Chain A
């Protein structure tokens, strides 16, 4: 039986199955706790589960705590050798509504790999903004209008938040690089304690990209330095994905409906400049330019 099999209901071009399969390839048989969200809905309908691993979905904001309970039970029952404990949760479940449980999981030092599937909004319910929605994104709760150019504030810095909790392994990845995801999942499990892996995952409907364009778009997020791929071990930055000939952010933005308004909105230029500044700062902070 496949660990994450066929039969899931993801849209063609959706990044989530790529992310999940790539993680499970690295972890092997494991215990999965999943937050309410896209992944849960496409994979866990009663009678149609796509999971070949023990899987639990409780509620929206508690998957880090549910995973902590699984880990504690395995310890108490002497069953830790059955496999690692992995969380899959969306960006909203991670950075917004579930951040209390996540902080508790980090703080108590549970031996868990927490994977945040970052499609940059509440996509399951139709593209409402989350703490990980980038500036300028036109979501249904931060729409662009005559005055406002979409989402105002930058993405919440979950990598720093994880590092501040002394998570033993913290990394970002992208569905454009599945083998990198697998390697990182595998590497993460070499560390005992709480581990955080945030995977940039394309949402074809929410972002407004053609299914065939999903991977090129994801790649551009990395190549513009808007989504830097970084890896920390015990708090130290150990690896980054270097970028040859870093591309301007417009190349990434113009392929997506969620940013289209920026090219004609009165404040669009300002927002694009802000996004370019974020990319430049990422490149500098992590030494991304090859």
Chain B
């Protein structure tokens, strides 16, 4: 059956319209990814609204392609400008820019793009094998488990995206959960926080929130007076030399891909962590670690393989548990929901072909990305020179279209603007936006399952500490919270003192 689904997905991908969408979306993703300030998250958020009218499979191809393109495109600006287009490519700049400075910009781009392709491709194998296993496990979930899963998602995402202050991540997640309470409640249809507004009764739409949170702050930041960047001239790709280098470093590529997939699966950890960890692993196992940071090819290869492998890794929990592995994956989850799919434990029962479709689209997108990045790199380098003050106002008009097309409702444009301001405040105060979005996504699941669970247990909280999966999640949540309070460090210090 699996092969039949895979075959069908290949046939769908090869339809002329879908091929065209694949090429255009990958190119759009590459451009968005390479422009500093336009993240992969924003690219998917923007495209989600725009693909609303597409046939479902075409929309999925488009979304997956833009994700792959955006993560991969970040390397070009990292290599040529020393400004990572996306945080995922931050480590690429360490060695890519010195390579460009010594006249090997084209060669570095070739290595980075090929490594990105391999990283995504290897991760597809893991999506195919791990997703059904995780889904089978998730079928054992009932109300309490779903509630704890939602809380676990918000807690871990808050911890891992908050850059050192987990409290801010958790507050952001709680705020998102609060936004999800607006509208008619799912059990009693009671209008919560609606104040008589009919638009609010139908709940806050996810896409305008997402576009506002991630797109708006980047747009407004571009209005500041900042200096223009000079782009370095690029040499030829030197493909023969590049393939030799890829072959020579294949072990490092596989290692980086494994790290990337592993990091991607952990909810809340993004592609940037995958890139950094892969870079660190290659540096620490290298015979010449002193060459890293000075234009080492392996540095570029490892980072790009690692961050792209995260794409597949991050999609695994999206498909099996409906908990995203990274911020762009959170947006992708929302996009899947919008297109009528219900990722989670029942996915393999309700839409068994979906996982295989996503895998094939990922594989096609990675191949398209490699080809397009090679073909249009001269053009994309020129795009890097486009002023943000021209680009960003145009992007805002697209944000308006994206928000409007969800329901053909002008109210959603206003919602996008309001959450844009919220996103700006959060960004200025260094509160991560990803847990906020995850809170909005998981809020209804947490609310309805908690109350359903309480109803079934006659108001008792006992199932939380008697059911094995609940105990597992509860322990994970507690460990996650306690690990952020510095309690573990205190224990370690005490133990060391006693040992001395």
User: Is B a genuine binding partner of A?
Assistant: no
